[in-house]
Structures are given as C-alpha cells and as structure tokens.
Amino acid sequence: MFRNQYDTDVTTWSPAGRLFQVEYAMEAVKQGSAAIGLRSKTHVVLGCVNKANSELSSHQKKIFKVDDHIGVAIAGLTADGRVLSRYMRNECINYSFTYESPLPVGRLVVQLADKAQVCTQRSWKRPYGVGLLVAGLDESGAHLYYNCPSGNYFEYQAFAIGSRSQAAKTYLERRFESFSDASRDDLVKDALMAIRETLQGETLKSSVCTVAVVGVGEPFHILDQGTVQQMIDAFEIVAEQEGPAAEPDADAGQEASAEPEPEQGAAAGEGVAPMDI
C-alpha cells in the first residue's frame, strides 16, 4: 500500500468508495501472529502462536480471559487488544452487577463492534489495529465471533486470523463439518494441528503456542504448557504410527498389481494408501 491523498484522514472517502486508514488497520491484523478459534456444540477452543521480538525477550500475551464464560484471542496491535479486552471485562462486570446473570456473548460482541465503528467515523480517532476472536458460552450454546477493526463482526464455526493464517483456514475448511459433534480433546487436537500449519516447517512445541478452552461445566482457562506438550506428544505419536503402517500396504499393492489376475489387482488397489495414488 502506498500513501495517497485520500489516506490522511479516517473520514475521507476515496473516489472508489474506500476508507484507506480502515484498510490499513485491517492490514495490521494480517501482520500479527496467528490466532485460531473453533467450536463445537459444547466447547470453544482458542489458540495462538507465541512470537517474541528476540530470543532474549518473552512473548506478548495474545489470549485474555474476559469472564468465566468469555475469552478472546487477538492478532495485530497487542496494546489495542489489551484496551479492548479491559473494556469487555468492565462490560461483563457491570452487566453481572446489574442483572445478576452473565452477559450474553452476542450482546457483548455488538457493543464491541459499535465501539470499533465509532473510531472509523471520528477524524480525531484512529481505528483499532487489532482483530479479536471472541469465544463464549451462554444459554443459547457455544459461540465464536470475529470482530474486525472496521466494526463488522461475524460468527464462525472455525476461523483463523493473523500472518500465515490461510494455511490454517485451509485445514479448518477441510475439517469443519466434524467440529459440531467433536469432543473437547478433538477440538484441542484440531486447534494444535491448525497452529502447526501456520508455522511453515517449524516444530510445534508448547513454548510456541497457547491454547485456551471454555465449555459446558468448564470455565474459560488457558491450558498450562505441560498439558499442551502432552497433547502434542500424543498427536505426534499417532502420526508416526499411521505413517509406517501405510508403507506395507503400498508394497502389497505393488506386488499384487504385478500379478496377471485382474481380480487380485483390483483388490490390491483398494489397499493402496491415498498418498501413493
């Protein structure tokens, strides 16, 4: 993106009907470290990539608890994310004090979107440069929303934002139909797999990712590194066991295909691993 005469003010429209400063804020979300969310009927899982500025520094916190039934994962400017998460926390406290019941997730998301929209219509303000994945559980079930710097919000079954998030989206699009009835552990597994897709060859370890869960009978909480590492190790073992198991099938398929009988060749073709076809 290049500077032009229509991006000096957030309230200035371009002839093409665009607000460039809002688009720049959305670009800041794409530059942030990846954040991932997916939900079933009873649980919502959030995951993010921990990215440090240098080997000598700690990573920025990307997942925040808002209430016992709501949490957020962010991508973009972490400072803006902290401000918005504190706003959401105050709204939950005020609602709980007034009505003695937890704030519905959808209502909080609308309030957050309205707050973001105001910054696109005031010349002395700038849009928030952060995207939020809001995970929550209320009387109507589990919810996963994405709040955009433009003030738009969308509800998803699964979604990924941030840098290299397209690889995670591709993985989630292949698997999302099974999420609705998935168990808690299966959701965590798919979240870790999606995070691994964004690492582009880097080894998945508990030190490079954070995972949080909220669900029925389970308040929002961030899983400790030991638990996450155990799950990663279990998944890697399963992957290693499935890999060598496919090789004998492929060898059997090649031996059978060399025989002249057509019936044996057809039977052998059914046993060939998909990656060898």
Interval 179-212: pLDDT, tens: 999 999 999 999 999 999 999 878 899 999 999 9
End-to-end CA distance of the chain: 43
The CA R_g of the chain, rounded to the nearest whole Å, is 23
Q: Which two tokens stand for residue 4?
A: 């032009």
Do residues 7 and 24 make contact, with C-beta atoms less than 8 angstroms apart?
Answer: yes
Give tens-digit pLDDT for 142-170.
Answer: 999 999 999 999 999 999 999 999 999 99
Counting residues of the chain whose pLDDT is more than 70, the rounded percentage is 84
Confidence (pLDDT) at 56: 81
Average pLDDT over residues 243-270: 46
Q: Whose CA is closest to 34, among 62, 68, 71?
A: 62
Q: Which two tokens stand for residue 85?
A: 């998460």
pLDDT beyond 70 at 259: no
Q: Which comes out higher in pLDDT, residue 267 or 53?
A: 53
- pTM over 0.75? The answer is yes
Residue labelled with tokens 């099974």:
178
Do residues 54 and 36 make contact, with C-beta atoms less than 8 angstroms apart?
Answer: no
**Ranges of each domain in the chain:** 20-241
> 165-175 vs 184-198: helix axis angle to the nearest 10?
140
Q: Would you place residue 53 in the very low, low, confident or very high pLDDT band (cuts 50, 70, 90)? A: confident
Confidence (pLDDT) at 69: 97
Confidence (pLDDT) at 54: 77
In angstroms, the CA 157 to CA 141 distance is 12
Confidence (pLDDT) at 3: 60
pLDDT beyond 50 at 273: no
pLDDT beyond 50 at 43: yes
Q: Which comes out higher in pLDDT, residue 255 or 275?
A: 255
Q: Would you place residue 237 in the very low, low, confident or very high pLDDT band (cuts 50, 70, 90)? A: low
- In this predicted structure, which of 35-39, 137-141, 230-234, 241-245 has the lowest mean pLDDT? 241-245
Average pLDDT over residues 246-272: 45
Confidence (pLDDT) at 244: 53
pLDDT beyond 70 at 66: yes
Q: Share the mean pLDDT of the chain.
A: 87
DSSP 131-170: EEEEEEEETTEEEEEEE-TTS-EEE-SEEEESTTHHHHHH
Using DSSP, state whether 276 is helix, strand or coil.
helix
Using DSSP, state whether 99 is helix, strand or coil.
helix
pLDDT beyond 70 at 141: yes
- The values of phi and psi at residue 141, to 5°, are 120, -165
Q: Which comes out higher in pLDDT, residue 199 or 3?
A: 199
Average pLDDT over residues 83-106: 97
> 130 to each of 33, 38, 83, 204, how far by Cα in Å?
11, 19, 10, 25
pLDDT beyond 50 at 105: yes
Q: Which two tokens stand for residue 216?
A: 């029925």
CATH architecture of 20-241: 4-Layer Sandwich (3.60)
Residue labelled with tokens 């044996």:
264
Q: Whose CA is closest to 80, among 19, 18, 135, 148?
A: 148
Confidence (pLDDT) at 91: 97
Q: Would you place residue 27 in the very low, low, confident or very high pLDDT band (cuts 50, 70, 90)? A: very high
In angstroms, the CA 102 to CA 94 distance is 10
> 257 to each of 38, 58, 114, 263, how far by Cα in Å?
43, 56, 64, 10
